[in-house]
């Protein structure tokens, strides 16, 4: 059986579970499982390091219990968002939602929402309904995607989050760097620009796992959005 004990997110989840029990905010595994939209045995497997917690379950953890996303990723020692989980009577306190929104500048797009992102990334209502978090030192309007599959291994692995900055149309791109390219699908690839008469007409999209995944081209007219990958959140650290 696989051992997921080295996953920092799983390690922090176990600490969060203990804290929620201590604060009387949950009544055991069945209670938190119901809040996370899963089952008692799934929570038990995560606590025993037999499986990873999913992005969807993390979203529920952030929304329901106001857990600090940076804490789960090992980037902060503050378990709860400011104003939550710290009152003397062990109850969660409410704070100004505008302050919360202002602090969270990274939109999180889990794997199950990526197909929707391809068609709705310009829809403000769609983006507002997605979970948001922050990383110290990373400012601006950013988007984090959960990567599914192994086409970019070993540099990006299945389940990693890549934090990205949208590229304005007309801004220069850098060949052989990793971008998120949005057409009718959303993919993480290295790009090479193909020019005709000094104009970029198409992009060659290249997988790092090139023995399995072959390069392919997309016409620039098919590209709806390009986002530059700034960093990745993996199971053990930020890279």
Domain boundary among 64, 98, 132: 98
Q: What is the pLDDT of residue 93?
A: 35
Alpha-carbon dihedral sign for residues 55, 144, 158, 1: negative
Global pTM value: 0.63
Highest mean pLDDT among 13-27, 96-110, 124-138: 13-27
Q: Give the residue-averaged pLDDT of 154-173.
A: 89
pLDDT per position as a tens digit, 72-114: 888 888 888 876 765 333 333 332 333 334 467 899 998 888 9
Q: Give the residue-averaged pLDDT of 41-51.
A: 90
Residue whose tokens read 């106001």: 66
**What is d(CA 104, CA 160) in angstroms, rounded to the nearest whole number?**
19
Q: What is the pLDDT of residue 83?
A: 67
Residues 125 and 218 placed together within one structural domain of the fold:
yes
pLDDT over 60 at 135, yes or no: yes
Residue 227 lies in a domain: yes
Higher pLDDT, 55 or 201: 201
The CATH number of the domain holding residue 69 is: 1.10.260
Residue 239 lies in a domain: no
Pure H helices in 53-188: 55-65, 69-72, 97-103, 114-120, 124-128
Q: What is the pLDDT of residue 85?
A: 65
> For residue 173, what are the domain limits?
106-233
Domain boundary among 69, 98, 127: 98
pLDDT per position as a tens digit, 52-62: 888 888 888 88
Q: How many domains does the chain have?
A: 2
Residues 94 and 116 placed together within one structural domain of the fold:
no
Average predicted confidence (pLDDT) for the chain: 84
The single-letter DSSP state of residue 113 is: G
Q: Would you call the peptide bond into 78 cis, given omega within 30 degrees of 0 as the criterion?
A: no
């Amino acid at each position: 059986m696989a051992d997921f004990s080295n996953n920092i997110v799983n390690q922090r989840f176990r600490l969060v579970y203990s804290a929620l029990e201590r604060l009387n905010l949950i009544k055991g595994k069945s209670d938190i499982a119901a809040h996370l939209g899963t089952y008692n045995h799934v929570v038990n497997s995560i606590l025993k390091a037999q499986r990873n917690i999913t992005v969807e379950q993390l979203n529920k953890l952030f929304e329901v219990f106001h857990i600090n996303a940076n804490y789960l990723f090992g980037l902060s020692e503050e378990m709860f968002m400011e104003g939550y989980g710290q009152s003397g009577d062990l109850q969660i306190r409410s704070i100004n939602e505008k302050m919360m929104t202002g602090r969270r500048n990274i939109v999180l797009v889990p794997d199950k929402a990526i197909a929707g992102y391809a068609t709705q990334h310009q829809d403000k209502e769609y983006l507002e309904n997605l979970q948001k978090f922050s990383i110290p030192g990373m400012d601006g309007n950013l988007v984090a995607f959960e990567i599914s599959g192994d086409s970019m291994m070993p540099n990006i692995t299945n389940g990693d989050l890549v934090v990205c900055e949208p590229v304005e149309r007309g801004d220069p791109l850098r060949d052989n760097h990793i971008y998120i390219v949005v057409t009718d699908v959303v993919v993480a690839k290295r790009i090479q620009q193909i020019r005709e008469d000094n104009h970029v007409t198409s992009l060659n999209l290249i997988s790092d796992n090139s023995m399995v995944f072959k390069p392919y081209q997309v016409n620039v007219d098919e590209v709806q959005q390009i986002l530059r990958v700034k960093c990745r959140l993996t199971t053990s650290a930020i890279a």
